[in-house]
Amino acid sequence: MKPFEFFKPATIGDASKILADYGREGRALAGGTDLLIRMKRGQWTPRAVVSLNRIAALRAMEMNGELQLGARVTLGEIIRSAEARGQFPVLARTASKMAGVQVRSLATVGGNLCNASPSADMAPPLIALGARADIAGRDHERILPLEDFFVGPGQNALVPGEILRAIFIPRPADGFFCSYVKLEHREAMDIAIAGVAVSAQLAKSAAEIRNCLDVRIVLGAVAPVPRRAKRAEEILRGNDLTRERIQEAARLAASEAQPIDDVRGSAWYRRQMIEVLTRRQLLALMTAPL
Amino acid sequence: MSDATKPPNGSGSQSPGIIGKRVPKLDALDKATGRAQYGHDVTLPGMLVGKILYANVPHARIVSVDIARAQKLRGVRAVITGANNPGRKFGYGTDNTPLKGDKVRCRRDEVAAVAAVDEDTANEALELIRVEYDELPAVFDPRAALVEGAPKIHHDKPSNLFTRYDYSHGDAERAFDSADVVVEGDFDLPYVTHSAMETAFCLAAFDLQGHLTVWSTTQIPFLLQRDLSEALGIPGREIRVIQPTIGGSFGRGLDVYPFEPITVQLAQATGKPVRISFSRTEEFFASAHRQPAIVRMRSAARHDGTLWAREARLVLDAGAYISWGAVTPLVMMETVASLYRVPHAKFVADVVYTNNLPTGAMRGYGNPQSTFFTEVQMDELAEKLGMDPVEFRLKNANQPNEETPQGLKITSCGLRECITEAAQRIGWESRAATDERRFETDEPHVRRGVGIACTLNVGGGARIYRSDGCGATVKVDDFGRVTLVTGSTEIGQGSETALAQIVAEAMGVRLEDVTVINSDTSVKPWDVGVHASRTTFIAGNAAWRAAQDAKRQILAHAAQMLNVSADALEIGDRIVRVKDDGRQVAFDKVVRALHYREGGTFVIGTGWYDPPTQLVDKDTYKGNISAAFGFGAQAVEVLVDMETGKVRVLRLVAAHDVGRAINPMYCEGQIEGGVQMGVGYALTEELLVRDGQILNPTFLDYRVPTALDMPEIETVLIETADPEGPFGAKGVGEMGGTPTAAAIANAIFDATGVRLRRLPMTGERVLAAIIKGESNAASQTEP
């Protein structure tokens, strides 16, 4: 590994200042599970590494009307948190399907998002939950819908000096459901070939019919960034969930994917899997307990 | 003692002692607590770190190598190249050199090496080396490499065809004309790699007499002496090889690799000890992987269910240099020609040079490949005959005491029992009502299926080299401690403890009284190496002989002390006693009495075992290569998701004929470990190689199955008491993973009706086959 300067600031302001000073040559360190691998391989050779681990504010996980999830919260903490398991089971389930126990005890939700991998598992369910990114700069702050946070593979919307402080997730209303399914080659320690998150606000329309007041379908690992399948959402929104409509929505979601061929799967398979994963999750909503 | 030269085979008599007991491995606590000293833990005063610069171009002339800047870097002690350190040709094909001087033939080729005070400095030095290449056309498809005018890999070889194996018995050509049922198909088998927990390493140090000591993860310490001598021109008698605890190898350590002589060259150049430890990335691209195979296979049977003929034609990609892996067709042909009774067989394999990474030996040594295509076609024949796959296999199974047309002398053979056990335990009977069972799943898109496949393996050594021998000594000290010094090597398989059990049983002492020394060529007797599931059988027989020799010496002296004939004595629980009257003397006291007397002596027994086998005939490839054969059958139950293609192996029954389990726990461990590799070979493991480059050199994208991916494994040990094996034992090291992929493929067929002939059977490939199968079915029903 190349030598670098190491900082451990105590406040977001200080961290932001150092990161701004070093610009593209500075890297923030949270869990380090992506950063250190790249540094060891020589893919990244930052001059400065800024640890965020002394900044207590980044580690908060609080429910104040909505869930405020500090960027420095680890996947393991999400899995163990009563709030996440009670109100947002999809987050705990998603985190438990990422990497292995050792990595999950270090890896953070903010790191997973800032790393901006097209297959980042935390992104689709958080976008489906309507999450917003709380960003702090040296002398400003801003809030972005999470779906706008991703710019390209490995690229996020932060400018040098900005830090992802927290994720805000609205408290779900009654009749709200959210799920995420990723297709993997193996049952653990793997990255999604394709992933789909579905969220829906449902109401009973007739006896056994569910009406879809609102819906989000978010695709992972099949485009440069996690993206919503808006045409598929469109034909469901405000309508009753019927098999025909679900089949059509799944087909549309597949058509909205922009997958590539790589070592994890070919484009045709990924597209096909988007259809299958979308359909299965929507079908499950037809019998969701209301 | 009826026959002084052979251990009892355990048939009939119930052994009272330690044989067949589930005792923990002698090294288990050290390994579990991290105390064991692996090669990477070994450091010497003044030791330097070595690093290698690889070509990363597949085929090129080396125009120049500029090392001036690297040499000047602070902390660098030596920079060597093929020009300043040419080395000599070595390897199975005598086609490789440590560093390459004139030409590189694959991306792995070693162009320069650095010794420096630490790893970062060594890496930085590598970056300062400038190599100018004149790139040459490269060839990566072995079939293309055989075409006239293809780029030639080695100019001093007649062609890119290194060798052709051409075997036949009966009249395969005409047999297919007279057969009632014929199946035919193309199979495609991938590169896979050993994935040993410990990466390879080499540490080399010279003493002031100029003698070399090498610490190594090798499986062939005595051949490594010879190979290093060949590559470096150092006399073999001046080379000592030490094997620290080895964290798995699985065939990787069967050849000498260029990095080993390079480590020695760096030690020579610097006058300091030098260590090269592979990173995991290096382990992925610089190990000799199991070679990929392109296979055209056909099999035939008669209406009555008699297996009739097989013909396999293979093209094997050796990569840029030939390793012992080039000999795997000898094993592959054994499966084609001798698994079941095969009246007619033909097997042709071309071993071809390409600009791909060199391939080599991996657990099973060709057998996982050939068992896959052979056993998938057994299933296809059964289907075409309208016969139950289990019944078809039982009808044609090998039987005890028969010689196959290939010349394999099968003695003990439990294949039929293996098939019966595996089938029964997986619930094969309920498969009869198979259509309903197929849909008995929790979800509408999931199908259930069961499948079976069998295996034949060498189980009594394998005469691949002219010798298949192993030496052993057993010495007893003043306090009754028994030390076995064996030529064989422990690479994690548990043979060390199995050998200790054999010696304890033979001597009549407790297991905790036995120490095993097996790690130093200057101490241990010669052995050909750890491979071919041979250690318990070969080294076990040698250890038994040495123990008998030592026991004879002790009994002879005890007889004098007790004034009886030696025949009247027995040893048990550290006591020598007269069988009839119970008079006794302590075991250790006998040894002390020998030491402390006028004209005294010491107790050391020696044993050598080289099995009664033959090298195969060099033209016909016939001959009895092994003194015993292991058999097995594995049956699996799978679930297949018809929409994603994903396969879940639910249960696997592995029934294996091990002759006699010296320690049932290790037999099960070997089989379960083999199954794990077999499941990976079947479903997830593949090194993706494009233009000679590995695209997935990490455990993220090279997917070894995790605990969650593994089925519940039920291991059944079939004990057939082999007449030649120590206490009846046969080798078990490799066969656990041999039939797994075929059993899974056959279960996938049962579930889905589609045949997979390409490994691994990923979700994507299974789904593609299902879709293709549906469209074929649709087109067939159209008018």
**Cα-based distances in Å from B1 to B6, B290, B579:** 9, 45, 14
Q: How many angstroms separate the CA atoms of B154 and B104, rounded?
A: 10
Query: Do B498 and B586 share a domain, yes or no?
Result: yes
Contacts of B684 in chain A (CB under 8 A): 185-186
Query: Do A108 and A206 share a domain, yes or no?
Result: no
pLDDT at B10: 55
Residue B319 falls within a domain, yes or no? yes
Query: Do B590 and B693 share a domain, yes or no?
Result: no
Number of Cβ within 10 Å of residue B127's Cβ equals 12
The reply to whether residue A191 touches residue B688, judged by beta carbons under 8 angstroms, is no
Using a CB–CB cut-off of 8 Å, the residues of B that contact A are 120, 281, 643-644, 646, 684, 688, 695-696, 699-701, 703, 705-709, 762-764, 767-768
Query: Do A70 and A156 share a domain, yes or no?
Result: yes
Query: Do B769 and B658 share a domain, yes or no?
Result: yes
Residue B17 falls within a domain, yes or no? no
Q: How many angstroms separate the CA atoms of A70 and A72, rounded?
A: 5
Last residue of a domain, one of A119, A143, A170: A170
Which of B699, B700, B761, B771 is most worth mutating to test chain A (most A CB atoms within 10 A of its CB)? Answer: B700
Residue-number span of the structural domain to which B508 is assigned = 28-36+469-609
The reply to whether residue A264 touches residue B701, judged by beta carbons under 8 angstroms, is yes
Which of B136, B96, B522, B568 lies closest to B324, judged by CA? B96
Query: Do B126 and B93 share a domain, yes or no?
Result: yes
Residue B149 falls within a domain, yes or no? no
The reply to whether residue A186 touches residue B643, judged by beta carbons under 8 angstroms, is no
pLDDT at B155: 94
Q: How many angstroms separate the CA atoms of A209 and A239, rounded?
A: 10
pLDDT digits (tens, 9 = 90+) for B472-489: 999 999 999 999 999 999
Which of B106, B112, B107, B61 lies closest to B86, judged by CA? B112
Question: Does the structure show a pLDDT above 50 at B783?
Answer: no
Q: Assign B50 a pLDDT band (cuts: 50, 70, 90).
A: very high
Q: How many angstroms separate the CA atoms of B530 and A27, rounded?
A: 48
Last residue of a domain, one of B548, B577, B609: B609
Residue B177 falls within a domain, yes or no? no
Q: Assign B781 a pLDDT band (cuts: 50, 70, 90).
A: low
Residue B388 falls within a domain, yes or no? yes
CATH number at residue B400: 3.30.365.10
Instruction: Please report the DSSP string for B549-591 in residue order.
Output: HHHHHHHHHHHHHHTS-GGGEEEETTEEEETTT--EEEHHHHH
Q: How many angstroms separate the CA atoms of B284 and B278, rounded?
A: 9
pLDDT at B777: 78
Stretch B45-65: mean pLDDT, rounded? 97
Query: Do A47 and A60 share a domain, yes or no?
Result: no
Query: Do A31 and A111 share a domain, yes or no?
Result: no
CB B350 within 8 A of CB B391: no
Which of A34, A269, A274, A280 is most worth mutating to test chain B (most B CB atoms within 10 A of its CB)? Answer: A269
Selecting from A188, A189, A265 the residue whose C-beta is nearest the C-beta of B764 gives: A265
Residue-number span of the structural domain to which A17 is assigned = 5-51
Contacts of B768 in chain A (CB under 8 A): 269
pLDDT digits (tens, 9 = 90+) for A140-194: 999 999 999 999 999 999 999 999 999 999 999 999 999 999 999 999 999 999 9
What's the gap in Å between the CA of B547 and the closest CA on chain A?
48
CATH number at residue A242: 3.30.390.50
Instruction: At B325, give phi and psi (nearest 5°).
Output: -60, -20
Q: What are the tokens at A61?
A: 């996980």
Last residue of a domain, one of B609, B638, B661: B609
What's the gap in Å between the CA of B43 and the closest CA on chain A?
22
Query: Do B49 and B32 share a domain, yes or no?
Result: no
Query: Do B649 and B695 share a domain, yes or no?
Result: yes
User: How many CB pairs below 8 A link A and B?
Assistant: 44
Question: Does the structure show a pLDDT above 90 at B215?
Answer: yes
Which of B442, B443, B696, B764 is most worth mutating to test chain A (most A CB atoms within 10 A of its CB)? Answer: B764
CATH number at residue A13: 3.30.43.10
DSSP letter assigned to residue B147: S
Instruction: At B406, give phi and psi (nearest 5°).
Output: -80, -10
Selecting from B696, B705, B764 the residue whose C-beta is nearest the C-beta of A266 gives: B764
CATH number at residue A144: 3.30.465.10
pLDDT, chain B, mean: 95
The reply to whether residue B764 touches residue A1, judged by beta carbons under 8 angstroms, is no
Q: Assign B13 a pLDDT band (cuts: 50, 70, 90).
A: very low
CB A177 within 8 A of CB A199: yes
DSSP letter assigned to residue B184: E
Last residue of a domain, one of A145, A170, A195: A170
Selecting from B709, B764, B767 the residue whose C-beta is nearest the C-beta of A186 gives: B709
Instruction: At A196, give phi and psi (nearest 5°).
Output: -135, 130
Query: Do B409 and B529 share a domain, yes or no?
Result: no
What's the gap in Å between the CA of A142 and the closest CA on chain B?
36
Query: Do A60 and A46 share a domain, yes or no?
Result: no
Contacts of A265 in chain B (CB under 8 A): 764
pLDDT digits (tens, 9 = 90+) for B720-754: 999 999 999 999 999 999 999 999 999 999 999 99
Which of A37, A102, A186 is most worth mutating to test chain B (most B CB atoms within 10 A of its CB)? Answer: A186
Q: How many angstroms separate the CA atoms of B209 and B212, rounded?
A: 9
Stretch A198-204: mean pLDDT, rounded? 96
Q: Is the dihedral of CA B593, B596, B598, B604 positive or negative?
A: positive
Query: Do A70 and A10 share a domain, yes or no?
Result: no
The reply to whether residue A189 touches residue B762, judged by beta carbons under 8 angstroms, is no
Contacts of A274 in chain B (CB under 8 A): none
pLDDT digits (tens, 9 = 90+) for B216-258: 999 999 999 999 999 999 999 999 999 999 999 999 999 999 9
Query: Do B270 and B336 share a domain, yes or no?
Result: no
Q: Assign B443 a pLDDT band (cuts: 50, 70, 90).
A: confident
Query: Do B648 and B594 share a domain, yes or no?
Result: no
CB A134 within 8 A of CB A236: no
The reply to whether residue B705 touches residue A263, judged by beta carbons under 8 angstroms, is no
Query: Do A63 and A114 share a domain, yes or no?
Result: yes
Query: Do B425 and B490 share a domain, yes or no?
Result: no
Those residues whose C-beta lies under 8 Å from the C-beta of residue A262, and which sit 6 or more positions away, are none
ipTM of the complex: 0.96
DSSP letter assigned to residue B682: I
What's at B291, amino acid-wise?
Q
Which residue from B minimizes the CA distance to A274? Answer: B644
Contacts of A188 in chain B (CB under 8 A): 706-709
pLDDT digits (tens, 9 = 90+) for A67-85: 999 999 999 999 999 988 8
Q: What is the maximum alpha-carbon separation in chain B?
A: 102
Which residue from A minimizes the CA distance to B683? Answer: A185
Q: How many angstroms separate the CA atoms of A96 and A77, rounded?
A: 10
Contacts of B281 in chain A (CB under 8 A): 41
pLDDT digits (tens, 9 = 90+) for B260-284: 999 999 999 999 999 999 999 999 9
Query: Do A281 and A232 share a domain, yes or no?
Result: yes
Return the percent helix, strand and coil in chain B, to nearest 5: 30, 25, 40
Stretch B303-315: mean pLDDT, rounded? 98
Last residue of a domain, one of B609, B641, B670: B609
Q: How many angstroms separate the CA atoms of B718 and B715, rounded?
A: 10
Query: Do B477 and B447 share a domain, yes or no?
Result: no
**Cα-based distances in Å from B276 to B84, B96, B116, B286, B341:** 19, 19, 11, 13, 49
Contacts of A190 in chain B (CB under 8 A): 700, 703
Give the total residue count for chain B: 783
pLDDT at B774: 84
How many folded domains does chain B comprise?
Answer: 3
Continuous segment of H or E residues that includes residue B693: strand B693-694
CB B155 within 8 A of CB B323: no
Instruction: Please report the DSSP string for B503-522 in residue order.
Output: HHHHHT--GGGEEEE-SBTT
Q: How many angstroms separate the CA atoms of B641 and A269, rounded?
A: 14
Question: Does the structure show a pLDDT above 50 at B588?
Answer: yes
Residue B161 falls within a domain, yes or no? no
Residue B154 falls within a domain, yes or no? no
Contacts of A264 in chain B (CB under 8 A): 701
Using a CB–CB cut-off of 8 Å, the residues of A that contact B are 1, 41, 183, 185-191, 193, 263-266, 269, 272-273, 276
How many folded domains does chain A comprise?
Answer: 3
Query: Do B775 and B655 share a domain, yes or no?
Result: yes
CATH number at residue B254: 3.90.1170.50
Stretch B445-451: mean pLDDT, rounded? 96
Which of B643, B684, B687 is most worth mutating to test chain A (most A CB atoms within 10 A of its CB)? Answer: B643
The reply to whether residue A183 touches residue B644, judged by beta carbons under 8 angstroms, is yes
Q: How many angstroms separate the CA atoms of B338 and B360, rounded?
A: 24
Query: Do A238 and A195 share a domain, yes or no?
Result: yes
pLDDT digits (tens, 9 = 90+) for B658-716: 999 999 999 999 999 999 999 999 999 999 999 999 999 999 999 999 999 999 999 99
Instruction: At B497, give phi and psi (nearest 5°).
Output: -70, -40
What's the gap in Å between the CA of A186 and the closest CA on chain B?
6
